[in-house]
Structure 1
Amino acid sequence: MSTGSPGPATPVPTPAGLAHTSVLALPKPHQSALTAVIVAAVLLLLLVLLLRHTIRKRGGWRRFRRRLGQEATLTRRAFGEPLRSYGRHRRGVRALGRQLSDPRKGLLVRRLLDAAATALADAPGAFPYAVRTAPGHAAVQIAARRPPEPPAPWEPGADSTPQGWELTFTDEDTLPETGARPAHRLRPLPVAVGMADDACVHLDLAAGPRVITVEGDTAARTRLLHALAAQLDRPGSGATVTVTEGVHPHFRGRRLETLLGEVEERSTMPVEEAGEPGRTATTVVVCAAPNPEQARRLGALAASGTVVCLTDGRSAGHSWALHVDGRGRVTAPELELDADSAPLSRAVAASVRSDLRRRRREATPPKVTAVPVRPEPREEPRRPRTESLQETEPLQEAPTETVPRVTTGSELLAEPAAATRERTTAASSGTTAD
């Protein structure tokens, strides 16, 4: 058997060699990973070139950064607006709640209106119709072609109230004096309509045409109308409120036609029976969607000073119109009124609850608690003070008093002790006396 020459030895790859070979291996151009990287790099380069061209066309990097900052600011404000709106709403509820729950604040608003009306007595056709109150500050809006110069302590209105007067006070005693109200002028009926620049806005319903219509969004105007009627129905408002049918879904009021007949009959009575206008409670009629004939009759009664009318929706005739949008913003361009009425409903509800608690406290008699009478302490007899001995005086024994001996009856009957001893001694010795 012949053996051939051995061929070249085939090297066996080791694991270390395999690892070294795989690390140094490069991907081939036809592989998909390299193609994706090259395409992504090209697209990124094109995007950078396009962005640079656009920025240079828009005015350069400085203007681009400015616009980018503005967009970021607008975005931040848009996302933070709900939180700020909620904070404003809560502040408005608290401010209006404090204003409506304190009876002195209502008297303050009426006093401001009366003081402004007294100062405008010499100006024909001028009258105050709205008040803005803030802590220590008040602004009265005046209806006049040319408002006269304000007397002291009033000051001309600022930008917020160009057609009005302003007053700064630290105490209610510093308010201007009010004169006697004329007989033809009704008692002011101020109601809060909302907040404007952290100030409570009040509107006098007895000024002007005395017919106020609430228009706009259905839900918002219904809430505003109910809030105004609830304020007038509170004790001390000086008004008698009558709600007709169709105003509240859970309250079936009187028919407007019947009510108008009664009011017209009452207005024809003599002054002694019906009461002098401005001295008795003002009748307020709250109605919904009156027809043209009813609106005409309401306008005639309001012009004579018999009633003040609040209407849900539009009404024919001369009136003040309050427009409310879906967010509760109430505006009246002819009155220069722009306020937020969204927090008014909750504030009025809180004030009504406060009135109920106050009335309940007044109706409950005060509890009389018996005060226990404490016995007077007995005075103990004072002990005589002993004088302190001086150190220089020698100690002396106090003299003892001789107590006389008292002889009892048994001792008087007994023999003397000496005789008894002698007799005993003699007996023992055996001697006897002769």
Structure 2
Amino acid sequence: MGASDQPDVLVIGAGMVGAAAACLFARAGLSVCVLQAKEPEPFDSSEPVGLRVSALSPGSVRILEAAGAWDAIAAERTGPYRRMRVEDRARDPAIEFTAAEFGLERLGTIVENDLVQWALWQNLKQLAAVERVCPADVESLDLFGPRPAVTLADGRSIRPDLLVGADGAGSMVRRTLGIGLRHTDYGQRALVSVVRTARPNPGLAWQRFLPGGPLAFLPLSDGASSIVWTRPSAEADRLLSLDDEAFGSELEGVAGENAEGPFGSIESTGPRAAFPLSLQLADRYTAGRCVLIGDAAHVVHPLAGQGVNLGFLDAAALVETAVAARRAGGDPGHEGRLTSFGRQRLSESEVMARGIHGLHTLFGPEAFGPVRRWGLWGVAGSWALRDGFIRRAAGIHAGAPALARGISLQDLVIG
């Protein structure tokens, strides 16, 4: 479409969550303008696997299907997993889940973040209802009038019905709105790398809770594993400084215990990086015609792999809210409907975030060892608890958006 100063929706930030929201809005028949600071790099599957990956839930995959991006993602390299095993540091008790026992094709899919963002960005290019402004240089935000206004450095002013802040953990939109933030610094970093083991990963998402933080092996398409090892910050720095052989030896010591773990000995390790971990929750997600989604609204500990999945659920729920408002003869920035959306998503995100925070606390100090082991035995032996856990982690529980539960975008638009 041609440039419009009054689109139905303005999305600030085209990371995975913002780009998914923009695709969904456009496919639902709304005009969309997207502001993005830098165009994503083309994805090249001949390059080594990226260090930043996500465990996409079945609900997130359905949302990406509705956004029109999943086929392009699935055509590249993905690591589906149908089994999950969670171990205490003593290896016993452990909880195991399989997709078949819950009637699912898979429990999740490991995908590189760069691939997801690239596929969504390519999809945005094909949608006539989307205008992309990239690189976008925002001069000022006026978010408190009857209609939000964003002024760009070239003097253009964009006044949408609905403004979506998908601009990350340091969100400029959130700061401009004056929305408070609750922040907990865990004093930990997530060390990530790609490793190859004596036995290729057979599609198992494996996690062991260790002193200082959990270690996860996540399956990649070629039998390698992407690891996420949560360590105290100083310890993460030490591990980053080791050569590959020394690092592999330490990793094998905690993962394989003399090569007796699920994957055998560590054969090789790739480049490493580490990222600081925190819990960050916005006090509210809406103000007037403005909405926060994704990391702008919430950042959680990665131990349950729910960060980007929460963001995709935000995007789906917001689009469903806007579509319902339009179907009722209103506009997508209807404050009453947005307020209801914000309360519902805040409640859902708080449940997940606090649950993850509780797990982080429970699996930390050894003083909680007896309680932790009792809890694991209880979950392992209870179908109801296991089913509830999986359905929420899969994004298909009763409170999940309709798109995540398999309702088509077309059906939502038609009503």
Instruction: Using structure 1 for the length normalisation, give the TM-score.
Output: 0.20
Q: Which has the higher contact order (CA 8 A, sep 6+)?
A: 2
Instruction: Using structure 2 for the length normalisation, give the TM-score.
Output: 0.20
The structure that is strand-richer by fraction is: 2
Bigger Rg, structure 1 or 2:
1
